[in-house]
Amino acid sequence: MHLLTPEENQPPPGTLHQYRPMIRYLMETEVHVYAFSMAANVLLSFYPFLLVMASFCRHVLGWNSAEQAIYVALRDYYPGQLGEFIERNLKATLDMSGPLQITSLLLLLFTANGIFEPLEVALNRAWGITRNRSFFRNQLVSLGLIFACGGLALASMVLTALNQELWKQLGWAGAHLTLWTNLALFKMAAAPVSILALLLVYYLLPNGKVSIRALIPVSIVVGVLLEVLKYLNLLAWPYLRVKLNREYGPFVYSVTIVLWAFLASMVVLAGADWAARTARALALQSTPEAATVDVESP
């Protein structure tokens, strides 16, 4: 249960004042620890996730268009040499490994669960929930979120693949036309999928009841900001690659993934803090005599 501070009780006098609590939150040491922990687990789970998805499309679905949609998404998130490097190695791994590997699936489940552990602690802290789930319960909830978010990602890939099949049936499946239409459809589907995934994580991961009313607009804004961050990556990558290549040598691609995952994690955590403060403000407006938010911990 989180008690409203006198500062939170006071109405903000201006626009800048509204963002000061979020800026202070992002400057806290614990938030950086959470974000770096999440980024490290993103690095560990990123390639196994791609491998499982591509292997599922190739060996289970037997659908080449769906596999190609994964490469379209990969080139969209990581343009240039990084995307080409990952795609080339992913295809080589699929050719060598054959059907869906249980080892890759287990590794994905273990490392992806690691993303949700620090995230749950951060969300509980933002909402004023003092009790975290046990490790076993956290793993169960994380497993459900992995399948839910993975299903959403697969759905966007399927939409892109269906678009490619449609162009083939119409006889308009030129290489450039197919690439641009697939990329356009994926971009249109990416934002809604990201927003829905964020809403699920924000709502289900905290160890208590949270306000869905405050989470919906925050999920939309954070989803859009993550898309903006992706385009900033497109602009900054040519300059960043030169610097990172000089400083990190053969580890340049790993460092790049960690850095951008850290920035994305900071955006997600800032959204959680914003949602919690919004919920407290809404609770105060509806019941001025109350100084708490309806957050229950089991």
- Rounded mean pLDDT of 266-292? 79
**For 68-111, what is each residue's pLDDT tens digit?**
778 877 877 776 777 888 888 888 888 887 666 666 667 767 77
**Predicted structure pTM score:** 0.78
- Rounded mean pLDDT of 177-205? 75
pLDDT at 215: 92
Chain centre distance of CA 256? 16
* pLDDT of 246 strictly over 80: yes
Contact indicator for 131, 207 with CB cutoff of 8 Å: yes
How many CA atoms does the CB half-sphere of 90 hold within 13 Å?
A: 23
Domain ranges of the chain: 20-273
Token pair belonging to 262: 């850290």
**For 133-177, what is each residue's pLDDT tens digit?**
988 888 888 888 888 887 777 776 666 666 555 555 555 544 455
Between 100 and 296, where is the model more confident?
A: 100
Between 282 and 298, where is the model more confident?
A: 282
Q: How far is CA 156 from CA 9, 70, 76, 153, in A?
A: 42, 9, 13, 5
pLDDT at 188: 66
How many CA atoms does the CB half-sphere of 184 hold within 13 Å?
A: 8
Contact indicator for 44, 111 with CB cutoff of 8 Å: yes
Distance (Å, whole) CA 159 – CA 165: 10
Token pair belonging to 278: 């919004």
**For 24-42, what is each residue's pLDDT tens digit?**
888 999 999 999 999 998 8
β-strand partners of 292: 3
pLDDT at 123: 93
Q: At what angle do helices 212-248 and 252-286 cross, to 10 degrees?
A: 160
Contact indicator for 74, 88 with CB cutoff of 8 Å: no
- Rounded mean pLDDT of 177-204? 74
pLDDT at 135: 85
Residue found under tokens 């400057």: 27
Contact indicator for 129, 55 with CB cutoff of 8 Å: no
pLDDT-derived band at 180 (thresholds 50, 70, 90) equals low
Q: At what angle do helices 175-204 and 64-77 cross, to 10 degrees?
A: 70
Cα three-residue angle 189-191-192, rounded to 5 degrees: 70
> Average pLDDT of the chain?
78
pLDDT at 86: 87
Contact indicator for 192, 167 with CB cutoff of 8 Å: no
